[in-house]
């Protein structure tokens, strides 16, 4: 059984060491293996150093190329299944901890890194109304633990664009929502996060109903992540990531300034507070 972040990291390091050993035994350079499995040689190097974690389809192609009988696929599945996160988000969560910059666009739900525990619980229960208390508590804790990266001295630059819908849906009720918006405002005022709101008045926009995330790294190319119903898509292809960056630029251009955003967030929080006091 693989327990805890340290043990999981050790398992990924074992994965990387075995990849390097078997690659060299098969006579492949990192670049040659990368070409066979449709990633760059640099990515193979990062897998071997446990800097990045391969997606399942890449692990499967490595097995096919090195003829390892499914070893890397089995390891990958085991590590994903013991992650604190949904399998489709696990790889993105691993990368998040390594990023120097994270840019989120949220069409309807406050991004996980900005959520309070109360808000997170409300969102989790909305999707899992019959969940056990243990499941809810573990999932909330995992989400709040992720958010600690915004409080670290070496935190990534965080840029969040929230559609105004995100501010108006009273997840958990008015009091919970007021505290959630207060939390977002505090992160902005403390300069731990750069927040913009895309207002209703902006009308149609490039990401109608779709979340997206961009992550940048010190020694690796940028990555994009998008999410649908119980599925996630991690994009490494430079051409695709460049298109996503262009989309994010359009959202940024249409959004309110950080100053106007703060005013709107605090006003919405006050509206929820008044609503809570009258119910």
Alpha-carbon gap, residue 228 to 236, rounded angstroms? 18
Residue 10 vs residues 14, 157, 197, 276: alpha-carbon distances, Å: 6, 27, 40, 48
Is it true that domain 4-81 has CATH number 1.10.260.40?
Answer: yes
pLDDT in tens, 118-144: 999 999 999 899 989 998 998 899 899
**What is the structure's pLDDT at 20?**
94
Fold entry, domain 87-277? Endonuclease; Chain A (3.30.870)
Mean pLDDT of the chain: 89
Q: How far is CA 54 from CA 71, 95, 111, 119, 163, in A?
A: 13, 11, 24, 31, 32
pLDDT at 2: 37
Mean per-residue pLDDT for 21-25?
A: 94
Q: For residue 80, what pLDDT is reported?
A: 67
CA angle 43, 46, 50 (to 5 degrees): 140
Q: What are the residue boundaries of the structural domains of the chain, listed by start?
A: 4-81, 87-277
DSSP string, 226-279: EEETTEEEEE--HHHHHHHHHHHHHHHHHSPPHHHHHHHHHHHHHHHHHHHHT-
pLDDT band of residue 81 (cuts 50, 70, 90) is low
């Amino acid at each position: 059984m693989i327990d805890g972040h340290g043990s999981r990291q050790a398992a990924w390091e074992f994965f990387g060491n075995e990849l390097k050993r078997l690659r060299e035994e098969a006579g492949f350079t990192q670049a040659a293996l990368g070409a066979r499995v449709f990633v760059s040689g640099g990515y193979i190097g990062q897998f071997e150093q446990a800097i990045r974690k391969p997606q399942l389809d890449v692990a499967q192609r490595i097995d096919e190329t090195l003829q390892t009988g499914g070893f890397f696929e089995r390891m990958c599945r085991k590590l994903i299944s013991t992650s604190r996160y949904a399998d489709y988000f696990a790889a993105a969560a691993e990368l998040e901890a390594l990023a120097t910059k994270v840019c989120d666009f949220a069409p309807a739900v406050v991004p996980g890194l900005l959520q309070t525990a109360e808000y997170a619980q409300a969102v989790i229960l909305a999707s899992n109304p019959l969940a056990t208390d243990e499941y809810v508590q573990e999932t909330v804790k995992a989400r709040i633990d992720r958010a600690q990266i915004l409080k670290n001295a070496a935190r990534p630059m965080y840029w969040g664009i929230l559609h105004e819908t995100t501010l108006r849906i009273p997840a958990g009720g008015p009091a919970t929502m007021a505290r959630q918006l207060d939390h977002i405002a505090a992160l902005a005022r403390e300069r731990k996060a750069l927040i913009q709101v895309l207002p209703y008045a902006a009308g149609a926009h490039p990401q109608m109903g779709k979340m997206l995330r961009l992550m940048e790294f010190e020694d690796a190319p940028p990555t994009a992540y998008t999410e649908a119903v119980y599925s996630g898509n991690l994009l490494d292809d430079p051409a695709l990531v460049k298109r996503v960056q262009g989309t994010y630029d359009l959202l940024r251009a249409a959004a309110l300034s950080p100053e106007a955003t703060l005013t709107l967030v605090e006003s919405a929080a006050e509206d929820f507070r008044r609503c809570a006091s009258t119910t």
